Amino acid sequence: MRAVEIEDGALRWGEAPRPEVRPGEVVIRVAASAVNRADLLQAAGHYPVPPGASEILGLECSGTIEAVGGGVDGWSVGDECCALLSGGGYAEFVAVPAVQLLPIPDGVDLVTAAALPEVACTVWSNLVMTARLQRGERLLVHGGGSGIGTMAVQVGVALGAEVAVTASRDAALLRCAELGADLTINYTTDDFEVVMRAATGGADVILDVVGAKYLQRNVSALREGGRLVIIGFLGGSRAELDLNALMQIRGTVACTALRSRPTVGAGSKAEVVAAVREQLWPMIAAGSVRPVIEDVLPMTEAGEAHRRMAAGGHIGKIVLEVP
């Protein structure tokens, strides 16, 4: 089969072994995948592949089931689906545990669906399953113009939260406002901690991709009982924290990852995917939550897609379609 390979730091469309179907798995003929920041880190040699995962890039895909392994129920050859992957999406075929499959939501085409699994599972597992975001609470989303950010804004709005976002560009902030954000903060000109406290009294939940650089300011921006969930380290992974400040508000700091979760069991990918299918997929079918896509490129141009993401300036997801 054809797949994107990493060669001397560059991405090229080359040949790779075709995966075989195993018990509990299906093989998908890939229609499209989507770019995530973890793909850029892996391509640069900074994100080790989990044991047993494909070395090929790509943490999500959409396509048609080509083969079904033993013990798989509810899926058949020819079914269209999208899937959360541990790797392997930048290819013509990928093997994936059946518990990580999702149907294509009503109203979403097959290629567009490739932009959903990673952001949907990341946002739902963190805002709902970890932070327990409730109607009427205040949510702050950092990096509002990203794929994660645009999904988090919509989920927060759909759950009845008041949503604030940070971004560095007016275009991203305008798009977030169109998606339902109540408060937009340009972090290059305004201090999000000051703005949040003045406008809302602080956040009940903060979804953060920055990490160390924002840690103390995030804690200071929380209300009593606030929950900070860190899912990225764009601003570093080491920082000091005033535990007394956190204790005084009875706050919580959680750090989570999706790719390293086990396939099944408590806190697993299977558990997250099942919750997303049951609770988030109806929101997408109803149109209250939709994938936001910046561009669709041929998978042969994966290198260009990575350059665009690294440069910033995109809003939502960049999708890679198999030629």
Instruction: Show the 3-state SS of 241-301.
Output: CCHHHHHHCCCEEEECCCCCCCCCCCCCHHHHHHHHHHHHHHHHHHCCCCCCEEEEEEHHH
d(CA 204, CA 227) in angstroms, rounded, equals 6
pTM of the model: 0.96
Given the structure tokens 């990918």, which residue do they identify?
269
- Evaluate the CA torsion angle 3, 313, 38, 289 in order and state its sign: negative
- What residues contact 163, with CB distance under 8 A and at least 6 apart? 139, 141, 153, 156, 157, 180, 181, 182, 183
**Do the Cβ atoms of 191 and 214 come closer than 8 Å?**
no
d(CA 200, CA 288) in angstroms, rounded, equals 24
Pairing of β 60-68 and β 25-34: antiparallel
**Do the Cβ atoms of 179 and 153 come closer than 8 Å?**
yes
Given the structure tokens 């009427």, which residue do they identify?
136
Domains (ranges, CATH) in the chain?
2-116+262-321 (3.90.180.10), 120-255 (3.40.50.720)
Rounded percentage of the chain residues whose pLDDT exceeds 90: 96
What token pair was written down for 180?
Answer: 């339902």
The 3-state DSSP class for residue 1 equals coil
What token pair was written down for 52?
Answer: 């047993």
Question: Phi/psi of residue 76, each to 5°?
Answer: -135, 160
Long-range contacts of 191-194 (CB under 8 A, 24+ apart): 191/217, 192/140, 192/142, 192/164, 192/166, 192/217, 192/221, 193/217, 193/218, 193/220, 193/221
Q: CA end-to-end span of the chain, whole Å?
A: 12
**Do the Cβ atoms of 115 and 138 come closer than 8 Å?**
no
Given this model, what pLDDT does residue 8 score? Answer: 85
Question: Tens of pLDDT along 258-312?
Answer: 999 999 999 999 999 999 999 999 999 999 999 999 999 999 999 999 999 999 9
Given this model, what pLDDT does residue 9 score? Answer: 82
**Which segments of the chain have a pLDDT < 50?**
none
Q: Could you count the other beta carbons within 10 Å of the beta carbon of residue 195?
A: 19
